[in-house]
Structure 1
């Protein structure tokens, strides 16, 4: 019994030892790792396309995995998958790639190569006509063991927004001024888009593009986007360029790039709202706004001391710091009112930009308070608008083609420069070219008399005088220019008799002319002849010619001829 017991105990000990050994061996082996999707991504897709390709990439550490892509979220949002194809960037073999519309799932079956992983790139062709723009659309990607949920954006194609980020105030300058437009754009996969920029308003304001090849450039393009075929179309007053997908990565692209235009503003006119209109192949239309600013002689900015200007001139108003629009309220000056702000008479804003050309013709002469306010700071400047008193008047209202058109002008700016222009009476003096131009300065009393040679073409004309510093103008009435008659001279007394050696006073009358020739003697008959040119400098229609008969005889040293009136 004891032996038996002993035998059993030994046997049991052996059995338990074996169990313990097996347990130790089993503990030395770890279970194999579960297969898993290690990465997945989905490219953005452009909406509104009847056919556009989206690429989904999947990596799994399972050899020969069956990859599934649940596209239900895209279908629910309005996309309609049409077809699929797949390739492997590794050494996997693609057995088949199929889209099952019954459960909105793409299935890609692979056979492993040599790397024990599965790497696939799946191109899904969608009809996105009914797809709306959305961010963070999610797919569920699996390999039979685990899943991942890559997201993508459904993006609007084409130009989505434009704004002027630099050069919102295109001021008159001798050197080119660069304007930067920030253009927000979407580009479909493997797509392109021609963008047209209507710049007609800018050209009408006097800005020019001298050389499209160098003056129109693009920078900071989104990854995968290229821009080319830039052209300036003078007849259409447009800029065109092509934006395209240059990546071939199976994804749409969206982002913002800078369109830089170097404008020649040397002949710009003031316009406080100018628009560029962007259109494209996707029927988008976006507008950016800016201003053009002609040079002014007076600039008033926040923080300035009391200022004077002439009533009727355009003045430059400068707001607060760059990037901040300033509201400028104008009040009649009232000594008894708070901050001297009497009745408000006008309000303007520098937006877009920080400057504004203001026509004081809206106000009239007097004292005003200009209040500058950008929402965080306020400042005031007292401005006195003086009367320039510019006037212009014709000396004669009827002249002939061989005469001059004279005018008088005066102003309250002694020594100030002026420009006088002669226009046909029915001309648009703001748009049409003048017939003739003269320039000069007012005298110390602010007065001047100036003239034009009368045009050879008969008709009615008018004179416009511009005060150069302020561009304030004054216009005369009309002068009638008629054809000059045949000029002639006459001796109303017929003949003049004097004793030899005396001075003969010969009266010469002028008709339709102010100059002529008086002939004394006849070389053939008397062997003496004097040809004397006379001019009616005084304008009274006659000249009293003094002829020295003593000098004519060759004796003495006195002058042969003279005139009684020093103006002749």
Structure 2
């Protein structure tokens, strides 16, 4: 425990420490240190030479000297041990090279046993004359600092203490302050923003200028919370490390002092977010060291990455230079740094390393975790999977080579005996242990090898050696002939080796590329709503498959309004294999079709979209697949699919406008003499679609009215031929001028073409108000206008009691409905599953309504009875939220319900009675009138039997309970 004396002592020490803080002046005079006799040992500590240690590139020498002077006070024969703590200097990269005595103004004072390391200097201060006292003798020491590795700092603080002969240490250390000039990232003279951690420079322009930094409040005004306070001291400028400032905050900087105009301004602190992460933390000497860098840096900001050893020192190459990489950040602030595989040399081999990345503009750094490099085993290469890759002839085959303990391999496809081969060297620059090659079987042998194979990962590298064989003839045009469907041998060897060497012929891995005959398989039509983001589908073809069945549905009818030239989007899905290589070489299907339209008619590849029901004496309307930007292609060659999106709302042709009723046929053709054709006739697939008038129908009652209750949560249902996923709204407005009202609840078309609006609030609309309802898409009306009316909320009540059943039925005691309807039974609660419903019930009150359940209950349960209206007047219960659903009766916006517990009855075995022996008397004596049976003793005076619920049993239980409570209370007290 801390006693009063200790508290007083703590306060006293704190006070002494506070009293030791000295206002900085030109000489930086410090307070005195008292010796054990009560006399001052040293005082007036100051620097007389090189007050500013220059540690930046402007320094004249790596060794710079500070001369430290102080006044000595010693009694006769005293010896004091003096310590100057230079830990601040060490923390900022300075080392002490030497300490020497410059001299003393008194011959009676000597400095002996000078010793030093990087964080302190010690020496003995003695009075040598004997019998006399030394007062105010000036002693000077020269301290040589090596500043070659000096880092940024505002000032250095040297703490001086003196120790007497009795070993006690003085309580009041003396502090002297020095400044070191170092590198900084930017000069701040007014409102500005910085990255937390960068060192900035304030330049008030005068010595001894005070600079204070305060937090700000939500309004941007400075608070009383000062987070930094420093002084320019001997210079007119000073550096400031922002590491201790919080990111995302704005601070107020206040500058004052003699020779400057008092000023203040805001300083915003941002997060650079610099982070370096090693891609692998355990690698071999065959692997590259790869680190991924992320940051909030600006585009093209430069960075430097340094390879560090386990001691945090820069790794040097054989020339003694630090191993570094430089680069600049991308627009996202990202970058990747790679170092060559360790060579197991004297400088760079097995061991632990890290990568330190520096943002050059600010000096902010980030370091990866430790990367362990171990000796690599023998290198090995293999083809992924079972080594067999299958594609259709004419497609682009992906061949993946896997590497272990090496990042270089030589790969070949084909052989001279097969009439074609190609050889290339690959390098795993991405560091993922594999290189995926994309081999274009359409261009192979008809163009330079650079246009035959590429790498899937742009970080990897490939260098071609040769391609050859009887088939190879690069003077012939691409598409003049293609590789035959067959199985082509493949092999791979470790390292980059030359064609024909033993390493190549004696390969490390074998595989095969199986090219199958290609085919053109079919075409089908899909429809999707106007406004579907085609670019989003193009960026990730998987989005198409995700939307199929919801906003993309198979259909040959496409809603199109020729009045507004507006309609849905058609998506034609072409299914064809073996055309990927040709499309890839042409940079797209549109370009491939455009290029091939100039071929002879019997060699063309074409895709046309042409009207099939043209009017008499009129040419058929055609959609220009190649030149209309409203027609785009989304490629999925991996699944032999190419989606052609025709946005009808954007087409700018044909010369005659599209019209409702136009029927179009899309035809993809590969003519019989084209090199890709695999049959004796044209390869041709087609798909039709028809433009139909957009239409919607709303659900009405038998009187062709739409009745809406004067309540909240009201919905309107209908159907349409617009594409599923289309957004519609229904404009509902009163036709009575005395009760103006309008709302537009929204709806989305479902896959079956139905829609139901979101719940709308009609509770403020008076019953009897007449309405008109019109479905709209965007700003245009669709379909007919309907009449409607606001009606009173029909009433209903229901009652159901707890009951025991066999689980197949439940009985509702009573149900009353104003307009007739049904009673639905929900399991557990009102939103639970509907497990049964009644037949149609006339309006009025019905008693004891037995309802058969869809499946029998096999355990006890809670059920909820809920009356429903016959919304569509068909006397059939239609449950759900869609078109024609029978909604529940409501009261105050909530469904009318009652609940009950259902107990499932069980059948128990009845014991078989045993016969009474003939010799057992059956007559029981009848007591005389008035006889007190309670006093009748037992026959044998034996134990009395008491039933479990008798009075005797209750008393025993009570007594046991009281004893237990008493014991528990006693235990708690203990």
Q: TM-score, normalised by structure 1?
A: 0.49
Question: Which structure features the higher share of strand residues?
Answer: 1
Work out which structure has the larger RCO, using CA pairs closer than 8 Å and 6 or more positions apart in sequence. Answer: 1
